[in-house]
């Protein structure tokens, strides 16, 4: 995986964001950790839903705010782990919760909403996607 991957995309709708995410998912190998950041309502969950579609997952995907993590088997093998750390305060509580098992899984794609809460314990090759709100319907997605 290239750590120099850098891309910017302007999305003008929820569907645009889902399509961008689905295409990205299809291009990333198992073992990818993708850290999402952006304000409440930016589109992190919309992006995660598109990402799941790109992995061929048909189940409904919603934010695991209360369960913190949702695990989905991928039809082609492996797992999609969708995490929402909104209710996790810091890296210590994430580790207590067992997050390192998920982050280190070689056969999974891992997406983390509110990843900025655990910056210090993300794997070194983590990809970062920042979503900025430009208007009601448009967003800037920056991958680095």
46 near ligand ADP, rule: CB under 6 A: yes
Contact partner, 42, from Mg ion, ligand ADP, none, Cβ < 5-8 Å per class: ligand ADP
87 near ligand ADP, rule: CB under 6 A: no
Q: Supply 64's token pair.
A: 């695991």
Contact partner, 22, from Mg ion, ligand ADP, none, Cβ < 5-8 Å per class: none
Contact partner, 43, from ligand ADP, Mg ion, none, Cβ < 5-8 Å per class: ligand ADP
DSSP state of 33: E
3-state secondary structure 37-103: ECCCCCCHHHHHHHHHHHCCCCCCCCCCCCCCEEEEECCCCCEEEEEECCCCCCHHHHHHHCHHHHH
Catalog residues that contact ligand ADP under the rule CB under 6 A: 11-14, 16-17, 38, 40-46, 63, 113, 137-139
């Amino acid at each position: 995986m290239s750590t120099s991957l850098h891309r910017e995309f302007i999305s003008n709708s929820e569907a645009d964001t889902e399509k961008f995410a689905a295409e990205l998912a299809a291009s990333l190998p198992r073992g990818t950790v993708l850290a999402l950041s952006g304000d409440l309502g930016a589109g992190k969950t919309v992006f995660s839903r598109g990402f799941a579609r790109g992995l061929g997952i048909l189940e409904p995907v919603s934010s695991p705010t209360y369960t913190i993590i949702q695990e989905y088997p991928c039809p082609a093998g492996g797992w999609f782990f969708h995490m929402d750390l909104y209710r996790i305060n810091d890296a210590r509580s994430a580790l207590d919760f067992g997050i390192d098992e998920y982050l280190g899984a070689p056969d999974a794609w891992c997406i983390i909403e509110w990843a900025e809460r655990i910056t210090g314990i993300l794997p070194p090759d983590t990809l970062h996607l920042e979503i900025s709100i430009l208007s009601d319907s448009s967003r800037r997605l920056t991958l680095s």
